[in-house]
Amino acid sequence: MSLTIWLTGLPSAGKSTLASEVGKLLDKRGLDFEILDGDVMREYLTKDLGFSRLDRDNNVRRIGYVAQLLASHDVIAICPVISPYRQARAEVRQLHPPGRFLEVYIATALALCEERDVKGLYAKARSGEVANMTGIDDPYEVPEAPELTVDTGQRTIEECCDQIFALAMARLDSLATQRPPSQAGTP
């Protein structure tokens, strides 16, 4: 029994860092997990997609489908993916059985994301070199009812990670108690 932890937020909000740290905590517990990082997925799984709204939504759908497959095989899927549009995130949630999808909004302020931007994408967007940059000239639709909101500008990575991990463990515990009794030995 497993689930998907979907980390959404602006570029450079801390999603990948948090995914890695949550993964370390899961590993210490002996739990199987995979990180489906949006940047890595764009390199291998969704290389054919651009940055139009349709392509971004298809990117999210593909990653969400893989996450659901992993979760259905008892692998926790951690997905640090910008996923800027609510509708695409809702579609991914619908792929999962009830309770098996945790949307975590990384609510880091745009100014801090711009400061952290190691790729220089925000500066390129502000200078007109890059178009359709989420948070600059393309919208980021803030989740309306995420299971958790963390702000890496207000709390340490460790504190945010601990919150995400605690939520995931509580959900897994809750799901385990809802599991029907084993039918072993029954014809």
Would you name the residues annotated as active-site residues?
A: 83
- Name the burial class of residue 101, with classes exposed (0-12), middle (13-18) and buried (19+) by CB atoms within 10 angstroms of its CB: buried
Q: C-alpha angle 1/41/8, rounded to 5°?
A: 70
To which H or E segment does residue 34 belong? Answer: strand 33-35
To which H or E segment does residue 104 belong? Answer: strand 101-106
Q: How many other C-beta atoms lie within 10 A of the C-beta of residue 55?
A: 14
CA distance between the termini of the chain: 23
